[in-house]
Structure 1
Amino acid sequence: MTDHEEAATVRPLTLAWVNRHLEVGERIVRIEALHGGATAEMRRLTIGTRDGGTRDLVLRSFVDPFFVEHAEDGLNRETGALTQLPGTGVPAPGLVAVDPTAAQCEYPSLLMTHLAGRTVLDDEGLETRVPLLARQLVAIHGVRPAERPRKYVTLTTADTVVTPKGADAAAWAAAIDVIRGPVPPYEGRFLHRDFHPGNVLFEVPPSRPAGARITGVVDWAATSWGPVDLDVAHCSTNLALLHGPAWGLRFAEAYEEAGGVLAAAASERLYWRVRDGLAFSEEVRLVARPWREAGRTELTTRVVEERLDAYVTGLMDGLG
């Protein structure tokens, strides 16, 4: 494929915008679609440098009408995070340019540096990766930004929960009652707000899976200020759906083992974990699709629904 044909995979105005943010003498030599994201088109751009070498950038563009509507807020949050994270020890992309309102591009877009590593969604090696995820999340919560991001938002209400077909009706009714109650008190912290294995990059030595290490955390568009329990709950739900309910139930313990501090009362911890779990009931299809595209073809919507039911039931049995 020629450079021209590859460049056509990025829309003309966006391509021109990217070129304006390259160094003098640089040019795009390759464009590759990145898969696995649920909200935006992702492209890896290989840039030919003046000295004959290359470097990589990542272009994110929000094209779906629903996500375009929320893109300005998300890109402004991500810009704020990427501006403040350097020097914190949290491995995040570097900001190159952003067009949150599509003033220059066809769609709201963000251009950032490319990080080494890859997402790992397989079950193999999970016992090594979960403690790494927990330690990374503790480090994120330790960030003290000069400017706080906006307050967190929750993604469900007691009236919008969709109980899966065949689910334990009594457990779900009890879980819904939990989130009808008042929001527990909390001490605000810096949250990623969408921290899960699909937004974490790893390097895993082929011959030594136990030597895995995190090389980056991406997708900071939901960065918020709020309770650490909510970030932990979100990763827990993702682990439960990706790898089985037991892993979701295990993650909070791993977070505490890594030095994280959760809500003191069991009822408060239950509130956040149930609230996040129930939020997934409204978007099971959206969540499952990128996992299947990334190779987890067995994770049909029905399988994910069954795992969500088992996870919510496990929460109510174990903490209720």
Structure 2
Amino acid sequence: MSDAPAVPQAALTWAARAVGPRARVRHVRRLPGGTHAATHLLRIAPPKTEVVLRRFPPRDPAPAREAAVLRALDGLDARAPRLLAVDPAGRHCGAPAVLTSRVPGGADIRPADPEAAARRLGAALALVHAVPRARLSGLRDCMAAARFSAQRAGERTDEGPAAPVVAAHEERLARQPRVLTHFDYWSGNVLWEGSALSGVVDWSGAGSAPRGLDVSWCRLDLVLLHGPVLGHAVADAFHAAYESAARTEVSDLVLWDLFALRNAYRSVTTWLPNYHGLGRTDLTGEDLRARHTAWTAARLHAWRKGRS
């Protein structure tokens, strides 16, 4: 059973019991990407199935939040995992954990056709945001979480060129209608089978917020991945496809872009391991900083032009 020592036996036993009384874990494999949780693919039989175990740091509330979100998603037309079990206090797994079905496919942040991939990213996000609002009850406020997450990462939300503009208009953004929000919608949190987007994963941060939060966060990621020229075109292709699929406009898009840039102002270079883990070893911390700076300048220019 490869990679088995990385997962406590008690956690494997718990996972198997969630599948069936006679089930046993036959194979364990660490999955790439992400730094928040240790993620493993478990092959279990009988019945023969594959599940995903994600274990979080001690006292992390993410598994309980993710369980609530997965119930609200109800499979997302087979594009989101199904909840199998949750161990919020780590009583069985030695750390807070969530067990889900496996969505087919794999991560791919090096698409042969970046604009086509971005259009599929936009359509998939529209599907997320179409989850009925009645299911959002009890989910966390992602606007408040965005500020808290930035502060926990060492950010000061009053720093960076975008900060003054965002501070002056943040309440306006927060008053916009809420949708089910992924909160970390980027290219590494979707799965592909060939050129088809097969699933959206990592729901531990999800909650409710205006649609612009997810849209602007993904646009920033696309610029970081593809650079200041291609990246801008890819980000615009994503946005156009999203609005077409959602059948609505994203209000205050430029301001939302500045919101994402402000929240990532200090931490953007720390994302490098996520990109390297998924094969973009060509990127450097200097690349991420330069692309963040160029995108900030472009969006501030758009903001000033729109107000002139």
TM-score normalised to the size of structure 2?
Answer: 0.86
Q: State the alpha-carbon separation in 1 of the partners of residues 276 and 53 from structure 2.
A: 23
SS at match of 2:180: strand
Q: State the alpha-carbon separation in 2 of the partners of residues 87 and 6 from structure 1.
A: 29
Q: Does 1:16 align with 2:4?
A: no
Preserved CA contact (<8 Å) 2:83 2:101: yes
| CA distance 1:22–1:263, shift in 2 (3 Å) | closer
SS at match of 2:121: helix
Q: CA deviation at 1:315?
A: 0.9
Aligned residues between the structures: 288
Residue 53 (structure 2) aligns with: 59
Q: State the alpha-carbon separation in 2 of the partners of residues 62 and 312 from structure 1.
A: 33
Residue 208 (structure 1) aligns with: none
Letter in 1 for 2:98: L
Q: State the alpha-carbon separation in 1 of the partners of residues 237 and 262 from structure 2.
A: 18
Preserved CA contact (<8 Å) 1:135 1:258: yes
Q: Does 1:84 align with 2:68?
A: no
Residue 202 (structure 1) aligns with: 192
- What do the CA deviations read for 1:269-305 (whole angstroms, capped 9, x no partner)? 3222111112122222331112112211111111111
Preserved CA contact (<8 Å) 1:179 1:275: yes
Q: CA deviation at 1:243?
A: 1.7
State how 1:98-137 maps to structure 2 within 5 Å: 98-137=86-125
Q: State the alpha-carbon separation in 1 of the partners of residues 168 and 77 from structure 2.
A: 37
Preserved CA contact (<8 Å) 1:17 1:105: yes
Q: State the alpha-carbon separation in 2 of the partners of residues 305 and 224 from structure 1.
A: 28
Preserved CA contact (<8 Å) 1:26 1:48: yes
| CA distance 1:101–1:262, shift in 2 (3 Å) | farther
Which among 236, 250, 263 is matched to residue 279 of structure 1?
A: 263
Preserved CA contact (<8 Å) 1:237 1:276: yes
| CA distance 1:87–1:94, shift in 2 (3 Å) | closer
| Higher alpha-carbon deviation: 177-186 or 217-226 | 177-186
- What do the CA deviations read for 1:252-271 (whole angstroms, capped 9, x no partner)? 2332233342344xxx3322
Preserved CA contact (<8 Å) 1:229 1:262: no
Residue 241 (structure 1) aligns with: 224
Which among 196, 203, 208 is matched to residue 225 of structure 1?
A: 208
Residue 151 (structure 1) aligns with: 141
Letter in 2 for 1:55: T
Residue 44 (structure 1) aligns with: 41
Q: State the alpha-carbon separation in 2 of the partners of residues 90 and 230 from structure 1.
A: 24
Q: CA deviation at 1:115?
A: 1.1
| CA distance 1:6–1:225, shift in 2 (3 Å) | closer
| CA distance 1:226–1:252, shift in 2 (3 Å) | same
Q: State the alpha-carbon separation in 1 of the partners of residues 124 and 78 from structure 2.
A: 8
State how 1:15-34 maps to structure 2 within 5 Å: 15-34=12-31
Q: State the alpha-carbon separation in 2 of the partners of residues 244 and 127 from structure 1.
A: 13
Which among 136, 157, 163 is matched to residue 176 of structure 1?
A: 163
Q: CA deviation at 1:6?
A: 4.4
- What do the CA deviations read for 1:220-275 (whole angstroms, capped 9, x no partner)? 111111110111011111111112241335432332233342344xxx33222111
TM-score normalised to the size of structure 1?
Answer: 0.83
- What do the CA deviations read for 1:42-68 (whole angstroms, capped 9, x no partner)? 101111225xxx3211110113xxxx4
Q: State the alpha-carbon separation in 2 of the partners of residues 15 and 214 from structure 1.
A: 30
Q: State the alpha-carbon separation in 1 of the partners of residues 66 and 214 from structure 2.
A: 16
Residue 301 (structure 1) aligns with: 285
Preserved CA contact (<8 Å) 1:161 1:282: no
SS at match of 1:181: helix
Q: State the alpha-carbon separation in 2 of the partners of residues 107 and 315 from structure 1.
A: 41
SS at match of 2:265: helix
**Which sections of structure 2, spanning at least 5 residues, go unmatched?**
none
